[in-house]
Structure 1
Amino acid sequence: MRGRKKPTKSANKGAAPSGQIRIIGGQHRGRKLPVHDVVGLRPTTDRVKETVFNWLMMDVRDAKVLDCFAGAGSLSFEALSRFASHATMVELDNRAAQQLTANAELLKLDNASIVNTDAMSFVGAAATTQYDLVFVDPPFNKGLASVCCEKLEANAWLESNALIYVEVESDNQDFSAPDNWQVLKEKKAGQVWCRLYQRK
């Protein structure tokens, strides 16, 4: 779950109204999905999503997606709208996971899996499949991003040229990625710092 402090008004510019997320591209473009009122939940804003999926424009179709801290599922549902082959959404909070399931049913998706468990435990186990595209967008100020990325690499969750999107707080000086990940894109937007890596 993205259990973060709520962003300032300016940082949230371009987001869907409180209580919902909006799909901004693909076959479900314009659809709005309800978001459960979970304390600290911060769906990725439309502005950040637009940047991320511009980066991923040529890479989403047919991709197997893993969303490690799914929260409201904003990134996963966007990827599925843009014809990703499958998305696995890992979410610890039970109510948020139930809402992800309900929203997948609302969109009539048969290629979304919701796993109601701790992301660190999930990626800490030996991989059962490999993913082409992974979203790592953990709660702020808990030091989870670096450890999650290390586990993804160590436990063989990634395809050989996988893309990994990482989103952390903009003042985070501690994040580090595995040595064999190359930075392709980078941007700071309000309270968030975004990077797209490719595994080499």
Structure 2
Amino acid sequence: MAKSRAARKPAAGAGELRIIGGDWRSRRLRFPEAGGVRPTPARTRETLFNWLVYHLAGSRCLDLFAGSGALGLEALSRGAGTATLVDHTPALAQALKANLRALDCDRAEVVCQSVESYLRQPPGAPFDIVFMDPPFRQGWLDTLFPLLAQPGWIRDGGWVYVEQESDGATTTPPAAWQLHRQKTAGQVRYSLYRVGAGTEPQT
């Protein structure tokens, strides 16, 4: 029995992600500890997806700095139509593909490319929800907010979720983005914005 329990532990140099809701609830997935990956904690994910509960079904999602896939995979588990997961670290991209195969999921695309390079190319069909959890204290939001604000990336009335360090100044979002929800948990401030003419006041 002890041997069986030990076999379920993550291997050295590996992390483990547990999906907390939806079709894949309680599924555990492995990912390499590469590229400084920092999965969004379960409690924060639960809050975020409670905010988005009425907007997930059939949505097109973009997970930037996908890392372990915590946000994109959770969205797919809870009914998102498709997800594009972008991460520049080859080991993480390969793990994402392997985990999608393990979940028997063909509704996601993994892109092994820097987020900045990805957003500098012409967009395809606009996304309904964008998740963005960049490395802290590197000024990523100042660079990426203007790129995401270009026409074609996010549909009118879509959503952008952002994580950043709680002890830093909040990066000013594009004029068309309205803050819908915001919370702080330890060292992380997480915010949800509504984009464009579909904005609605915070309740």
* TM-score scaled by length of structure 2: 0.87
- Answer whether contact 1:183 1:196 (CA < 8 A) is retained: yes
- CA-atom RMSD in angstroms: 1.3
Quote the residue 1:114 is aligned against.
110
> Once the 2 structures are TM-superposed, how far is the Cα of residue 125 of structure 1 from its aligned partner?
1.6
Task: Answer 1 or 2: higher relative contact order, Cα 8 Å, separation at least 6.
Answer: 1
CA offsets 1:131-177 (integer angstroms, 9 cap, x no match): 00000110111111232121011152010111000111111205111
The 8 Å contact of residues 145 and 173 in structure 2, kept in 1 or not, is answered as yes
CA–CA separation in structure 2 for the residues paired with 1:124 and 1:188: 30
Out of 35-44 and 125-134, give the one that drifted further. Answer: 35-44
Q: What's the secondary structure of 1:26's corresponding residue? A: coil
Query: What amino acid maps onto 2:161 in structure 1?
Result: Y
1:178 maps onto 2:170 in alignment: no
Judge which range, 98-107 or 145-154, deviates more. 145-154
Select 2:72's aligned residue among 68, 72, 76.
76
Give the corresponding residue for 1:37: 33
Runs of 4+ in 1 over 3 A off after TM superposition: none
1:140 corresponds to which of 127, 136, 139: 136
- The aligned amino acid for 1:190 is G
Q: Does 1:123 align with 2:116?
A: no
Deviations 1:11-67 (A, max 9, x none): xxxxxx871111100000010100112152111110110111111111111110001
Paired letter, 2:126: Q
Q: Secondary structure at the match of 2:149?
A: helix
User: What code does the residue aligned with 1:130 have?
Assistant: P
Instruction: Report sequence identity in percent.
Output: 40
Output the CA distance in 2 between the equivalents of 1:162 and 1:150.
Answer: 16
Task: Tell me the distance in 2 between the aligned counterparts of 1:108 and 1:179.
Answer: 40
Partner residue in 2 for 1:105: 101
In the aligned structure 2, how far is the partner of 1:154 from the partner of 1:61?
Answer: 25
Paired positions, count: 184
Check the 8 A contact 1:182/1:199 in 2, yes or no. yes
Deviations 1:73-126 (CA, angstroms, capped at 9, x unpaired)? 000000000010000000000000000000010100000100000001111222
1:180 to partner: Cα distance: 0.8
Asked if structure 1 preserves the Cα contact closer than 8 Å seen for 2:35 and 2:89, the reply is no
Alignment of 1:154-169 (within 5 A): 154-169=150-165
Residues 151 and 121 (structure 1 numbering): CA distance in 2 closer, same or farther, change over 3 Å? Answer: same
Does residue 1:95 correspond to 2:95, yes or no? no
Structure 2 gap ranges (5+): 1-9, 197-203
In 2, distance between residues paired with 1:130 and 1:164? 12
Unaligned runs of 5+ in 1: 1-16
Relative to the length of structure 1, the TM-score reads 0.89
Aligned partners of 1:184, 1:167: CA distance in 2, in Å?
A: 14
**Separation in 2 of the partners of 1:144 and 1:56?**
24
CA contact (8 A) 1:21 1:33 kept: yes
